[in-house]
């Protein structure tokens, strides 16, 4: 079983991102569940969503406390939320930021870091800071767990207007192309 925790702020689409990712995983023959967590339901408040998948049928529908992967949709969220709580050894961290790897404090348990300037892509394509589909493209780049094709198929199943669907597919592709992936094990030796 592989577990992903998505951190964002209200209005950035964390819950929708979890649903899209789960659909993409199902497209590839996995058993997957998207699990939203609702606290303060207001724009800008911290939001968490979860995705769990496996090759065999899943029955567990709980929050994820020990994720294999963290996706953080907001560059400022680490200042107010411990996004690394309970991470497993060799965790993959996918972060929206325009910072370079040398300017980021990386926890010991993180083995791989993927950095994407999702805010810049979002402003360019959408004119507002909605980074959810962009960070799914970064997830594909960082992990290879699901393909771009399955992700774009899953995007097509969401009720986007035609123009918005095209923009979101473009956002996924840009993120995939622009995300920088770093293996921290190489730096720890």
DSSP conformational letter for 72: E
3-state secondary structure of 157: coil
- Residue stretches of the chain with pLDDT short of 50: 189
- Check: CATH 3.40.920.10 for 2-188? yes
- What pLDDT was estimated at residue 189? 43
Q: Strands across the sheet with 46-54, in order?
A: 31-37, 46-54, 2-9, 69-72, 91-96, 110-116, 180-183
What does the pLDDT look like over 145-160, one tens digit per residue? 999 999 999 998 886 7
**Is the CA virtual torsion 130, 164, 17, 149 positive or negative?**
negative
- What pLDDT was estimated at residue 44? 75
* 52 vs 88: CA distance, rounded Å: 14
- The residue ranges of every structural domain in the chain are 2-188
> What is the model's pTM?
0.93
What does the pLDDT look like over 92-118, one tens digit per residue? 999 999 999 999 999 999 999 999 999
- What pLDDT was estimated at residue 38? 65
* 46 vs 61: CA distance, rounded Å: 21
Q: Which residues contact 85 (CB under 8 A, 6 or more apart)?
A: 65
């Amino acid at each position: 079983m592989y577990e992903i925790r998505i951190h964002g702020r209200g209005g950035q689409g964390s819950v929708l991102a979890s649903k899209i990712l789960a659909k993409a995983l199902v497209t590839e023959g996995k058993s997957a569940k998207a699990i939203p967590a609702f606290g303060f339901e207001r724009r800008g408040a911290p939001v968490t969503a979860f995705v769990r998948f496996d090759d065999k049928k899943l029955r567990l529908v709980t929050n994820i406390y020990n994720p294999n992967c963290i996706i953080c949709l907001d560059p400022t969220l680490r200042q107010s939320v411990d996004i690394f709580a309970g991470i497993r050894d060799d965790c993959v961290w996918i972060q929206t930021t325009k910072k370079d790897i040398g300017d980021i404090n990386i926890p010991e348990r993180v083995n791989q870091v993927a950095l994407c300037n999702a805010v810049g892509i979002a402003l360019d394509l959408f004119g507002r800071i909605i980074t959810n589909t962009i960070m799914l493209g970064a997830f594909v780049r960082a992990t290879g767990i699901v393909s771009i094709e399955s992700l774009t198929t899953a995007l097509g199943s969401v009720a986007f207007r035609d123009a918005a669907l095209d923009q979101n597919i473009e956002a996924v592709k840009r993120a995939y192309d622009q995300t920088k992936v770093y293996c921290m094990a190489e730096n720890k030796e």
